[in-house]
Amino acid sequence: MAALAPTSLSKDPLSNGALTRIFGSRVKSLEIQHTQLRLWTCFRSNSGVKLKASAEPPALTREPKSDKQESIMEMGNGCDLFNEMKNNFLSFKKHKYMENLELFQALSKGQAPKFMVIACADSRVCPSNILGFKPGEAFMVRNVANMVPTYESGPSETNAALEFAVNSLEVENILIIGHSCCGGIRALMSMQDEVDSSSFIRSWVIVGKNAKLSTKAAASNLSFDQQCTHCEKESINCSLLNLLTYPWIEEKVKKGELSLHGGYYDFVDCTFEKWTLDYKGSVMEGKNRVVVKNQSFWC
Amino acid sequence: MEMAKHSTEVVVAGLKKILISEKGLDQEVQGKVEKLIAELQGTRPPPPPCDPDAQRIEDGFDFFKKNIYDQHPDYFRELAEGQHPRFLVFSCSDSRVSPSVVLNFKPGEAFSGRNIANMVPQFDQLRHTEIGSVIEYAVKALEVKNILVMGHSRCGGIERLMKLPDESVTYDFIDQWVQIGLPAKLKVLAVANDLTFEEQCRLCEKVSVKNSMANLLTYPFVRNAVVSGTLTLRGGYYDFVNGTFEQWKMCTEPMPPMPMPF
- The one-character DSSP state at B147 is E
| A205-240 pLDDT tens trace | 999 999 999 999 998 899 999 999 999 999 999 999
Which amino acid type is present at position A237?
A: N
Residue A157 lies in a domain: yes
Residue A188 lies in a domain: yes
Q: Residue A215 is part of which domain span?
A: 111-298
Q: Do B93 and A161 touch (CB under 8 A)?
A: yes
Residue A194 lies in a domain: yes
Average pLDDT over every residue of B196-219? 96
**pLDDT category, A63, cuts 50, 70, 90?**
very low
Residues 138-167 of B with CB under 8 A from A: 138, 141, 146, 153-154, 156-157
**pLDDT category, B6, cuts 50, 70, 90?**
low
Which amino acid type is present at position A251?
A: E
**Which residues on chain A are in Cβ contact (under 8 Å) with B59?**
132
**pLDDT category, A173, cuts 50, 70, 90?**
very high
pLDDT of residue B102: 95
Q: How far is CA A28 from the centre of its chain?
A: 31
Distance (Å, rounded) from C-alpha A156 to C-alpha B176?
9
Distance (Å, rounded) from C-alpha A197 to C-alpha A206?
11
CB A157 within 8 A of CB B130: yes
Residue A104 lies in a domain: no
**Which residues on chain A are in Cβ contact (under 8 Å) with B106?**
129
CATH value at residue A136:
3.40.1050.10
Element (H, E) at A293: strand A292-298
Q: How many CB pairs under 8 A join A and B?
A: 383
CB A263 within 8 A of CB A233: no
Q: Annotated binding site of B for Zn(2+), which residues? A: 92, 94, 152, 155
Which of A14, A22, A136 lies closest to B191 in CB terms?
A: A22
* pTM to 2 decimal places: 0.77
Q: Would you say the C-alpha torsion B118, B121, B127, B131 has a positive or negative sign? A: positive
- Overall domain count for chain A: 1
For chain B, say whether A94 makes contact (Cβ under 8 Å).
Answer: no
CB B204 within 8 A of CB B162: yes
- The one-character DSSP state at A160 is H
Residue A279 lies in a domain: yes
For chain B, say whether A178 makes contact (Cβ under 8 Å).
Answer: no
Which of A113, A143, A201 lies closest to B136 in CB terms?
A: A201
Mutant choice from A93, A117, A181, A296 vs B, greatest count of B C-beta within 10 A: A296
Mean pLDDT, chain B, as a whole number?
A: 87
Average pLDDT over every residue of B71-83? 95
User: Is pLDDT of A67 > 90?
Assistant: no
For chain B, say whether A5 makes contact (Cβ under 8 Å).
Answer: no
B131 to A217, B127, B231: CA distances (angstroms): 30, 10, 18
User: Is pLDDT of A52 > 60?
Assistant: no
Residue A29 lies in a domain: no
Nearest to A82 by CA among A9, A5, A1: A5
User: Is pLDDT of A166 > 90?
Assistant: yes
Residues 3-22 of B with CB under 8 A from A: none
What pairs with residue A119 in β-bridges? Answer: A142, A177
Q: Under 8 Å CB-to-CB from B193, ≥6 apart: which residues?
A: none
Whether omega before B165 lies within 30 degrees of 0, making that bond cis, reads yes
Residue A254 lies in a domain: yes
Residue A264 lies in a domain: yes
pLDDT of residue A158: 94
pLDDT of residue A222: 92
Distance (Å, rounded) from C-alpha B53 to C-alpha A115?
9
| A248-279 pLDDT tens trace | 999 999 999 999 999 999 999 999 999 999 99
Chain B nearest C-alpha distance from A236 (Å) = 16
